[in-house]
A and B are shown apart, each in its own frame.
Chain A
Amino acid sequence: MRRLGPPSEIGRLAAPLGRLLDAAWQRMHWWVATMVVLYAASGITVVKPDEVAVILRWGRLVGDTPALQQHGPGLLLSFPRPVDRVVRVQTKHVWELLVSTLATVNDWGGNTLDPLTQGYALTGDQNIVHVDMVARYHVRDPAEWAFYGPNADDVLRVEVTAAMVRSLGEMGVDRVLADGRKSLIATATRRAQAGLDAAHSGLELSSLELTRLAPPVALAKEFDAVQSAFIGAETKKKEAQAFAQSAIPKAQADADAALQSARAAAASDLARAKGDAGAFLALHREYQANAVVVRERLYRDAVDRAIGAANVEWVPPPAGTHYQGFRVSLPPVEAGAAAQMPARSKPTSGGGSQVNSDRAPTP
């Protein structure tokens, strides 16, 4: 045990401080002990569900690989400051940034655009388009983002703009405004992500949305006219296709109907021919048995039918061997009128057609 000797110079100088500490300890030793415990506990951090924490020990990142560096949600034990410093980063949260560097403001359809105040991009065929974009992103590498990455909004704005300008610059305006939109977004997203990686941003682009992609207001009418012409052309094609779809089956149906009719007529003609042939054969059998009677009967029947059907003018036989000065007047023969105008004989001259004959009519 060290012997207490006479107080040294330093001891004398430190004596008031010692007395102050002694007095403080005697009065507030519980407070001091509590403060010491609280200081030790300040190394405990609660990491929230959407966060990842990294620890800096004397300023240096603890852990060699990202898996060892990053600590997920829950309680995280570390040394109090100034030894350790815990940095928490929201990695699950998706942020949104409106990129309007290529968008137009207050374009009332003027015949020019000021490049400093009106945003636009040139397409591959040197047309002008305005683009409004919304970029959604999240932090992929918390350590890189927190310690080395540039300002997230700045780097996103420039990388997305550059990627879009470049992607638009290799496509024609018609493709951009029609079916190339999806491909444009995919290309621009890929390029923007490559730029974000090269800038050590630690960010990942979740999606890139084009809220507006349009030609200048001054040219809207002309672009609409092309659209209308395109729709008109498509309509004409569709109408022609509809015509084709009806014309061909109709022709097929007509051809089928004609064939059916021909087949029916053929069948009917043949049936009639067979019937007639049968009748003729029957008549022939009868004719063989009694030719004169059958012939006479057939002849008489025919004469009866003829007399019954026609207008018959009976004229007396001539006084001598020939008719002389004899006239027969027949009604004019007109289609459909013959039936209504009965024939009348006029021994004297009169209107209507006249038959002069000096020969006797024979039946």
Chain B
Amino acid sequence: MASAMRTQRWLRGIVGTVALGAIVFYATAVVVREGQAVLITRFGRPLRAATVPGLHWKLPWPIDRGILLDMRHRVYETGHTEMLTRDKKNIIVRTFVIWRVGDPLTFIQAIGDEGGAETKLDGLLTNAAIGTLGGHDLSALVSTDPHDLQVDEIESELLASTAPLALRSYGVTIEQIRVERIALPEQNVKAVFDQMRAERRQFAAKFQAEGEREASRIRSEAELEAARIRAKGAEEEARIRGESAAEVAKTYADAHRIDPDLYRFTRSLDSLDKLVTESTSLILRTDSEPFSLLQSKEPK
């Protein structure tokens, strides 16, 4: 019986202590999670900001109050804004910004909630973009010449002209500003289309002409090479024929030199063979040989 009483007393003690401890803990402890901050106010007056994750303390309500703030990075895209570049070209630009709460106290005081921050940022960014891009040509944003492009510089200028002001005035840290979109006003697109069309026609004509020129070059080079090969062949052929003729002539000459008279005689007979053909008409007297042999008993 005494043991049961002791147990009950222990239990009462433990439960009472735990309940009391829990009440005191929840009234005074402030758990700041990673990615969050808590602004502690005393009777509505901001006291301090607990930005380091972990356990922080405050006096219980209604003396102190903790206001939770999301410290995550956030994306905000501005609207499409029409502006004029230094070379007087109308363009439509949209930028985006990666921001987070940098100074919770200023943020709460100047803006109040997160939706309000974006309205403030929009004005700030639009003004900065108009100012910055007005100092650069369109070729600083789009160009095939790397020397013209100044996108990094433009983004740095945008950051430099907005980040200090945003932190000081709104408690917002701007981590990154980028140009998200570069477009042309609707009325200017038609002119670009016309320019693109003209450029395409020019390219088509250029390709066609280049193709023909290149094909013609290849053909003429091939023909030249073929002619060179043929000429070389003909030269070699002529040399062979010449050498052969010389050798043939020498062979005949060597033989005929032995008896030029006989050679002349046989050549004359050969010529006769060649001279007299089926289309040759010979008019011979009947008293000449061999016809005369038929008339006399003895040949002349």
Q: Does B72 lie within 8 Å of A147, measured CB to CB?
A: yes
A172 partner residues in chain B, CB cutoff 8 A: 144
> Which of A146, A218, A240, A363 neighbours the largest number of chain B CB atoms within 10 Å of its CB?
A240
Chain A neighbourhood of B232, CB < 8 A: 255
- Cβ of B168 within 8 Å of any chain A Cβ, yes or no, is no
Is B216's CB within 8 Å of the partner chain A? yes
A222 to B198, CA, bound (A): 9
Residues of A within 8 A of B39 (CB): none
**What's the least CB distance linking A342 to chain B, in Å?**
11
In the bound complex, CA of A198 to CA of B96 (Å): 13
A126 and B240 contact, Cβ closer than 8 Å, known pairs A113-B186, A148-B34, A226-B207: no
A225 within 8 A of B: yes
Interface string of B207-241 (1 = CB under 8 A from A): 11011101111110111011101101110110011
| B273 is an interface residue with CB less than 8 A from chain A | yes
Chain A nearest CB from B150 CB (Å) reads 11
> Would A255 and B233 be within 8 Å (CB), given that A111-B193, A225-B204, A244-B221 are in contact?
yes
Interface check A134, CB cutoff 8 A: no
CA distance A102 to B183 in the complex (A): 10
User: CB-CB < 8 A to B149: which residues of A?
Assistant: 169-170
Q: Shortest beta-carbon distance, B99 to chain A, in Å?
A: 9
Q: Is B283 an interface residue (CB 8 A)?
A: yes
CB distance from B25 to the nearest CB of A (A): 9
Please tell me the size bucket of the interface on B: 35 or more
For window 231-262 of A, CB contacts with B under 8 Å fall at 232-237, 239-241, 243-244, 247-248, 250-252, 254-256, 258-259, 261-262
In the bound complex, residues from chain B placing their C-beta under 8 Å from that of A289 are: none
Most buried by B among A61, A123, A255, A272: A255
Query: In the complex where A56-B34, A148-B73, A328-B283 touch, is A161 in contact with B244 (Cβ < 8 A)?
Result: no
Instruction: From known contacts A128-B192, A247-B222, infer whether A256 and B244 are also in contact, taking CB-CB under 8 Å.
Output: no
A interface bracket (residues with beta carbon within 8 Å of B): 35 or more
State the CA gap A259–B189 with chains docked (Å): 69
Given A195-B176, A316-B285, are A116 and B234 neighbors across the interface (CB < 8 Å)?
no
Q: Does A77 reach chain B (CB closer than 8 Å)?
A: no
Q: A122-B183, A166-B179, A258-B233 given; name 9 further pairs at CB < 8 Å.
A: A229-B204, A230-B207, A243-B219, A248-B226, A251-B229, A259-B233, A270-B251, A310-B282, A315-B285
Chain B residues within CB distance 8 Å of chain A: 8, 11-12, 15-16, 31-36, 53-55, 71-75, 77, 80, 92, 96, 98, 100, 138, 141-146, 149, 151, 175-176, 178-187, 189-190, 192-193, 195-197, 199-201, 203-205, 207-208, 210-212, 214-219, 221-223, 225-227, 229-230, 232-234, 236-237, 240-241, 243-245, 247-248, 251-252, 254-256, 258-259, 262-263, 265-266, 269, 272-273, 276-291
